[in-house]
A and B are shown apart, each in its own frame.
Chain A
Amino acid sequence: QQQVKQSPQSLIVQKGGISIINCAYENTAFDYFPWYQQFPGKGPALLIAIRPDVSEKKEGRFTISFNKSAKQFSLHIMDSQPGDSATYFCAASMENAGKSTFGDGTTLTVKP
């Protein structure tokens, strides 16, 4: 049973547009929800993360929206740029626990 479901699998957006990636989780004990960005040939790197005590977190062009009752969270990339073209992973874990569960990833392509 997959505990974190991510959609869409791939996404094509025009430069300047908004990219939206969604994730849904099963385990209500999760209390840390990060998004990682991965470029080809590199390891994933943390982009932005949220804890369930807030409904939204914004860092520059990147925003996480969190809906605790629906067990869903999403990444919004405003004014998408070709340099944002990468694979994005959502994840969920419990603080002070070593286990993490990742979504299957979304390949984002931003067309110039």
Chain B
Amino acid sequence: EAQVTQNPRYLITVTGKKLTVTCSQNMNHEYMSWYRQDPGLGLRQIYYSMNVEVTDKGDVPEGYKVSRKEKRNFPLILESPSPNQTSLYFCASSSRHGEQYFGPGTRLTVT
């Protein structure tokens, strides 16, 4: 089954404690992205990758890091999480031609 998986699905952490949210896709897609979803603000792109070792900033990259060492994986790293990073996070993948496939989401709470 074609899918994008994210782990963990739910995470409660404290300010400053480094965390990683993993994302993996099995569709051999070149493109992958991370988004955060906040009420009334839609989906805002954090980072995206157009291929292995190629990443670029989206609209809200501050406080986040990513890496793309393998085509199927695109982890999101929060080196020092803060409460304003409490949000619902989605990973997505796509081919060059547009349609994005989204993962199930990771709900992060930073206290």
Contact = CB atoms under 8 A, between A and B. Distances in A.
A104 B105 CA distance: 17
B44 interface: yes
Interface string B44-74: 1100111000001011000000000000000
B42 A100 contact: no
A9 to B, nearest CB: 7
Interface string A83-112: 000000101010111111111110000000
B97 A104 contact: no
Contact of B43 (A44, A46, A93, A96): A44
A49 B92 CA distance: 17
Given A49-B99, A98-B50, A99-B56, A43 B104 contact: yes
Nearest to B41: A104
B100 interface: yes
Interface string B21-55: 00000000001010100001111110011100000
A89 B43 contact: yes
Interface residues of A, number: 26
A93 B104 CA distance: 22
A45 interface: yes
A42 B43 contact: no
Contact of A43 (B40, B48, B105): B105
A8 to B, nearest CB: 13
Contacts of A102: 35, 42-45
11 contacts: A43-B102, A99-B45, A99-B48, A100-B45, A100-B48, A101-B45, A101-B59, A102-B45, A104-B42, A105-B40, A105-B43
- Nearest 3 interchain pairs by C-beta: A43-B102, A98-B48, A104-B42
